[in-house]
Chains A and B, each alone.
Chain A
């Protein structure tokens, strides 16, 4: 089955530093990947759509300079939280869909718990 790997699974960083989260599709190619943010006991909030070889599409209210997304290959998208602050502490989840199967369900990574101190 399709596997999406997300790394790291958890990270603690100091306020003002930047953190990079990787999302890899292990056994398929993904033209599009999605980044979500989730607060405890709440729903997944779509942050941005990551497109291979082009700029990401950000949802309204998400700061593109704060959350940098790079999708340099068909199997890797990265989310960098720049100048992190405690309010950025959250659970971040990526998802991907196999290229050429636009109506198929998304496959999700295991998520990254970010804590900013």
Chain B
């Protein structure tokens, strides 16, 4: 079974600075998908970024980018120019395609606080 590990329970960053959230996973699969979801205090789950394992290029979405190291099974999220609205719990998630239901396996989450 796949596992996802987020080793940082809580982090804080000053507004406008850069922060990196770590995520590692364990799988024997070669083809899979990785996601970062954000859950603000409203508790709505919001997709931040998505990476397909067969793509070597790191995904980028505006201020959010990932460092995907397939051999190391690492998938970190970098948030540049942090904003107060980035304060949320961030979840790394793994999905194996074509597995029944294509369900997501979530990490434990990292609480990020952006300070002014």
Contact = CB atoms under 8 A, between A and B. Distances in A.
Interface of A: 32, 34, 38, 41-44, 46, 49, 51, 57, 91, 93, 95, 97, 102-103, 105-106, 108, 110-111
Given A44-B45, A49-B103, 5 more contacts: A32-B101, A34-B103, A51-B101, A103-B97, A110-B42
A49 B44 contact: no
20 contacts: A34-B104, A38-B43, A41-B89, A41-B109, A42-B108, A43-B107, A49-B101, A51-B101, A57-B100, A93-B43, A93-B45, A95-B45, A95-B104, A103-B33, A103-B95, A103-B97, A103-B102, A105-B35, A105-B47, A110-B42
A43 B107 CA distance: 7
Interface in B27-47: 33, 35, 42-45, 47
A41 to B, nearest CB: 7
Interface of B: 33, 35, 42-45, 47, 50, 89, 91, 95, 97-98, 100-109, 111
Contacts of B89: 41
A102 B101 CA distance: 8
B50 A57 contact: no
A18 B69 CA distance: 47
Nearest to B104: A106
B102 A43 contact: no
B98 to A, nearest CB: 7
Contacts of B109: 41-43
Contact of B97 (A38, A41, A102): A102
Contacts of B91: 43-44
Contacts of B43: 38, 91, 93, 110-111
A48 to B, nearest CB: 10
